[in-house]
Every structure is written in C-alpha cells, then in structure tokens.
A and B are shown apart, each in its own frame.
Chain A
Amino acid sequence: MVSFYGEEVQSRILLGTAQYPSPQCLADAVKASGTEIVTVSLRREMASGAGRGGFWDLIRELNVKVLPNTAGCHTVKEAVTTAKMAREVFGTDWVKLEVIGHHDSLQPDVFGLVEAAKILCEDGFKVFPYTTADLMVGEKLLDAGCEVLMPWCAPIGSARGPVDPEALKAYRAHFPDVPLVVDAGLGRPSHAMEVMEYGFDAVLLNTAVAKAGDPVAMAKAFGEAVSAGRTAYKAQPLAPRDMAVPSTPVIGMAVFE
C-alpha cells in the first residue's frame, strides 16, 4: 500500500497511456501491469471530432485513477494553464507537472518547475513534479507544497535505467518520509526492480512497455518486478562484501588424508 496525497493504492506502478499499437493493447497492458494510476494528456481537438470520446471512454472503462500531465510545456505559463484545463476536463486535482527545459534530454527546467509547483499548490492542485534527482530542487518542491517527488533515472524514453544509482539512493535517504516515484528512463523490468530495491515507493513508465515487442507481457513483467523489488527492499538486502565468505559451515568439516 502506498499513499499519494491521502489516496491509497496497492500497485506501485504508474503507467503511461501513449504509443501503444492499439487501444485494446493499451487496455490489456494496463490490466496486466496491475496499475491503479495511468497518465493522460490534453491535446488540440479537431472540429471534425476525429477521435473524439474514444480514448477518454476507454480510460474511464478501465476504472483507474488518472494523472493528467503537462507534457510538452516549456514555460511556467504553459504548464499552469494546461494544468487548469486538465483539472476541468479530467475532474481531478492531481497533475504530473512537467516544465521541460532542454530539447534533447527533456531535462526539466527545475527553476520553472518550482515556480509552477508553487502556483499550482496554492491553487489547490496535488502536484506530482517530474524532476531531476537533485536534493535541493526536491527540497524547494516540498517547500512549494508538493507531497510527492518524481525524480528521473535517465532521460525520457531513453530506456537506460538508473544511470546514477548513488544520486537515487541519496534521494531516498534524504527524503525518508516523502512518497518517491522514479519517473522516466526505465527500460527493463530489472531497472524497475533495482530502483524499488533502493526503497523508492513506485515507478512511472510508458515507453518501455508501449514500444516493447509484446507490450502486454512487458506490462506484466514490470508489475512483477516492481512487486519483487519492493519485497526485497523490505527484506533488507545483504550488503556487498569485498572478500569471499563461505556460506557452508567450516566447523565439523571432515578431514581426508
């Protein structure tokens, strides 16, 4: 059980809804992952109504919580306006706040992120900020009113996995009581399991599932990996050692001459 802004969920995987081969594949992947929270976005509607209703109907039928994002926003103004539009359409105060600062890496503009988070939190939003794994930025986001932090582990869609494990471990240690979600950069279930073993509360991913050869099977694999990683963290893994240590008792060993 993990709690985000007072709402408890069993599953520790948050799944994006973009890039799937078909709506049915998306629906099946969501179910296979076990997720209870999916991310969605707002985009320009066509007057012809092409595509109208179908996607939103599909999501509502899945009976999951929605986390609208501000993906693609590069300024505080864009992000704040998009968040307000999303709150009305999706009927939720939750928002995955993205203020993109760098075109190639999609690294957040952390200064704009903190500024937008402050505006939105004061307006009653429950902000899930997509951020770098910088401790001081995390502190500023908490000061702004965020109760969840979502550091990346690698650039969005890169599938690199945790490129700086020490930064993520330090993040967990520095914010022991804050719900922490690794958002962006996961490529394989083993990556998800690894960050869960660090003690993160959940992961958020999209591309690694949607663009897999078999998205539904991969969604299931990620769900299992997240669960296994959490169990392992709670079981307190053995610390690595420099030298060999025999696991079989040496006392009582037979002597053959």
Chain B
Amino acid sequence: MNLTVNGEDQTVSAKTLDALLAELGFEPEFLATALNSDFVPAEERADCVLNEGDKIEILSPRQGG
C-alpha cells in the first residue's frame, strides 16, 4: 500500500496506524498522529485502518515561540 508519511511517499504492508508506526520504526511514546488531517488519539491507532493514498502526519515535541 502506498501512503504519504510526513510528506514523503512510503510503500508499506501495515494495515493500521499502530502497525505503521512499528513498521517504520517510530517509537509511539510522545508522538501525536493525524490521518488525512484529522487527529487520531493514541488509543485509537490500533483500530485506525489505513487505505491506499492516505496521508499520515507523525509529530513530536519541538522548540516553539
């Protein structure tokens, strides 16, 4: 399945957001996720089914003003 993860094209076998994080080597602690511009809470990642062409954002704490 082809996805866009943080703006980059990715081909993955994961079927859920939870599995995607594991497949791409993200450690889920202190990450926030969004699917097609909608927030996906951590507890819903395991049930969040991915589809061809989905856009996923994976964010973490950074410096800010």
Contact = CB atoms under 8 A, between A and B. Distances in A.
Contact of A81 (B6, B26, B38): B38
Contacts of B37: 77-78, 81
A48 B27 CA distance: 10
A47 B65 contact: no
Given A44-B7, A77-B37, A81-B39, A52 B60 contact: yes
A49 interface: yes
A59 B61 contact: yes
Interface in B39-59: 39, 41-42, 57-59
Nearest to B33: A85
A207 B65 contact: yes
B62 A55 contact: yes
Contacts of A206: 65
Given A45-B31, A81-B38, A69 B64 contact: yes
A205 B8 CA distance: 33
Contacts of B63: 16-20, 26, 40-41, 55
A64 interface: no
Interface stretch (A86-94, A164-172, A220-228, A232-240): A86-94
Interface of B: 6-7, 24-27, 30-34, 37-39, 41-42, 57-65
